[in-house]
Chains A and B, each alone.
Chain A
Amino acid sequence: TQLLEQSPQFLSIQEGENLTVYCNSSSVFSSLQWYRQEPGEGPVLLVTVVTGGEVKKLKRLTFQFGDARKDSSLHITAAQPGDTGLYLCAGLLLIQGAQKLVFGQGTRLTINP
């Protein structure tokens, strides 16, 4: 079973449409990160949300951390072909004094011109 469930796993939409990706868990996270991965490259951090209810915006991307710090969402407005990629959420847990980052399965997003 996946500790952090990400949905949908695949999404293909037309340019200009809006979309939302979700990450859900029964665990409480210290913080939650969103990464984007291009083919042939490693993931790159987009944003970190720390406080329950926090909202961060990065141009057309809006990230929200749930009030209980168990879930997060990524909303893209007016998607562009350049938004195509694999989006990963990752939650930071504190376990016995050590930090552990757990990843969702990823959402492969395709924006069609």
Chain B
Amino acid sequence: EAQVTQNPRYLITVTGKKLTVTCSQNMNHEYMSWYRQDPGLGLRQIYYSMNVEVTDKGDVPEGYKVSRKEKRNFPLILESPSPNQTSLYFCASSRPGQGNNEQFFGPGTRLTVL
């Protein structure tokens, strides 16, 4: 089954404790991205990757890091989480230029930073 998986689905942590949210897709998509979803703000892009070893900042990259060592994986790293990073996070993948550039989203990770 074609899918994007994220782990963990739920995470409660404390300020300053480094964490990683993993993302994996099995569709051989070149393009992957991370979004955060906050009430009234919709989905905002954090980082994206056009292909392996190619990453770039989205609209709200501060406080986040990513890496793309393999095509299928795109982890999101919070080196020192702060309460304003409490949010619902989505990983997405797509194949730009093919058809309608449909984004395939993971199920989301709800993060709470105390």
> Which chain B residues lie closer than 8 Å to A99 at the CB level?
96, 101
Nearest CB of chain B from residue A103's CB, rounded to whole Å: 4
Partner of A105, one of B40, B92, B96, B103: B40
Contact of A88 with B43 at beta-carbon distance under 8 Å, contacts A43-B103, A101-B101 already known? yes
A106 touches B106 (CB 8 A): no
Bound-state Cα–Cα, A35 to B103, Å: 9
Query: What is the interface of chain A, defined by CB distance below 8 A to chain B?
Result: 2, 6, 9, 31, 33, 35, 40-45, 48, 50, 88, 90, 92, 98-101, 103-106
CB under 8 Å from chain A, chain B span 69-114: 90, 92, 96, 100-103, 105-108
A31 touches B42 (CB 8 A): no
Bound-state Cα–Cα, A40 to B102, Å: 20
Query: What is the interface of chain B, defined by CB distance below 8 A to chain A?
Result: 4, 35, 40-45, 50, 90, 92, 96, 100-103, 105-108
Nearest CB of chain B from residue A35's CB, rounded to whole Å: 8
Contact of A41 with B101 at beta-carbon distance under 8 Å, contacts A2-B42, A99-B96, A105-B41 already known? no
**4 nearest interchain CB pairs?**
A42-B105, A48-B100, A103-B43, A105-B42
Bound-state Cα–Cα, A98 to B55, Å: 13
A50 touches B100 (CB 8 A): yes
Nearest CB of chain A from residue B10's CB, rounded to whole Å: 10
Which residue on A lies nearest to B106, using beta carbons? A42
> Which chain A residues lie closer than 8 Å to B35 at the CB level?
103
Nearest CB of chain A from residue B21's CB, rounded to whole Å: 14
